[in-house]
Amino acid sequence: MEYLKIIGGKDISGSVEISGAKNAALPLIACTILGKNEISIGNLPNVVDINTFLKLIKMLGGNFVKDSTTNSVKINTSMINNTTATYDIVKTMRASILVLGPILSRFGHCEVSLPGGCAIGQRPVDLHLKALEQMGATIEILHGYIKATAPEGLKGAKIVFDKVTVGGTENTVMAAALAYGTTTIINAAKEPEIVQLCEVIRDAGVKIEGIGTSKLVIEGTGQQLLDIKPFDVIPDRIEAGTYMCAAAIKNQKLKIEKVNPNHLEAVISKLEEMGFEILQDENSVTILPTNEIKPVNIITTEYPGFPTDMQAQFMALATQANGTSTIDERLFENRFMHVSELLRLGADIHLNGNTATVNGGKEPLEGTDVMATDLRASSALVLAALVANGETNIHRIYHLDRGYEDLEGKLSKIGADVKRFTE
């Protein structure tokens, strides 16, 4: 097993380039199943989850050629002949569920193992299934597999989500693209990743209204496959936010390049509340140091609100603030697993249900051995280690590798002392 050794207290400076967004790339790779042509995707992040998803495409009978030097891939799914996504691949990554909508709308049947992945609560897929049932699919769960059939193809329907679901919106949009008739999605998620998915499908000839709003209207092609144009994956707003927090926790200047500042508004606004000045231009943001890191109150909510995927990083940052911060996690239960590890480093954090109270600035953090529990929790430990006295060893970093490209390389480049070892 690999681990990271971080020596705290080193200054950071310079700039860091952000990779493509994992959470945008995964549904976009799934959407290639709707295409009849070879599809070129640029700005693909080199992270484990992407490689797993490409493997899944191959298992289904598609093929791909990946070019790591240019961070691009060419995918051809016109030959897909297998409609089963098996447990051995789905268990490692929840996003595998995203093949359900496109395979079902293309072939009229699909079998996908129930998902595994992160340990951050239930995140049930029932909203995905209910939407597909409303579009005429028959769904049963047998032996841990979702078996879905729609022998006549999916039919357009009006779908009202009881709560905002990113994966459910993505699956339904892809299913609707090849359905017969018009699908209306009410209470759709509005994340930038969904906007990009809709734009790629629209540019392939599907009429979609309401992109970027909570109401989407999609005219399906009646199982006619799409001609999907080449595109680049949008920058990763969570990776960008994580490096902004790295600069903030060190209270040093850092330029974050290759980002879309519009996607970072909620994060920028909270950093400004904490006293940091943020300079923005078209595709970069620069965070400047402050005289005093102020405490902050955070409530996680759906986009454009404060992202749950940034909650752990801000908790690490709040340990350095001058006063008491509160973080209210409204989206996922079980998303405070990093708290026990931050306590090991000497943080003063109290949990009450879904609210964490962080008393900052009293005692410096002290390096020790900690363990990553999920993807974003592990980045909070990295941030805390940057300011802790002495040496911190972060174990189980395979969680990090699922979503951060070359983390130790990028941190080393800006001055941090981070090395990877095998235990």
Q: Give the residue numbers marked as catalytic.
A: 118
Residue 392 amino acid letter? T
Q: Considering only CA atoms, which of 152, 155, 144, 82 is closest in space to residue 115?
A: 144
**What are residue 232's DSSP bridge partners?**
42
The answer to whether 391 touches 418, Cβ cutoff 8 Å, is no
The b/e string for 209-235 (b: 16+ C-beta within 10 A; e otherwise) is eebeeeebbbbbbeeebbebeebebbb
**CA distances to 239, 265, 276, 295, 296 from 272, in Å:** 18, 10, 5, 11, 10
**What are residue 155's DSSP bridge partners?**
180
**CA distances to 107, 179, 184, 280, 379 from 224, in Å:** 11, 9, 19, 43, 43
Farthest CA pair distance, the chain: 65
**What are residue 147's DSSP bridge partners?**
111, 140
Both structure tokens of 120: 């951050």
φ/ψ of 396, rounded to 5, equals 60, 45
**CA distances to 108, 126, 157, 183, 208 from 136, in Å:** 10, 15, 9, 12, 21
Q: Considering only CA atoms, which of 314, 307, 351, 297 is closest in space to residue 331?
A: 307
**CA distances to 165, 218, 287, 332 from 275, in Å:** 33, 43, 11, 28
The answer to whether 360 touches 329, Cβ cutoff 8 Å, is no
Both structure tokens of 214: 């909570």
The answer to whether 308 touches 236, Cβ cutoff 8 Å, is no
CA 420 to chain centre: 23
Query: What distance in Å separates the CA atoms of residue 282 and residue 18, rounded to the nearest whole number?
Result: 14
Upper half-sphere CA count for residue 416 (Cβ side, 13 Å): 31
Query: What distance in Å separates the CA atoms of residue 43 and residue 127, rounded to the nearest whole number?
Result: 30
Q: Considering only CA atoms, which of 39, 51, 53 is closest in space to residue 97?
A: 53
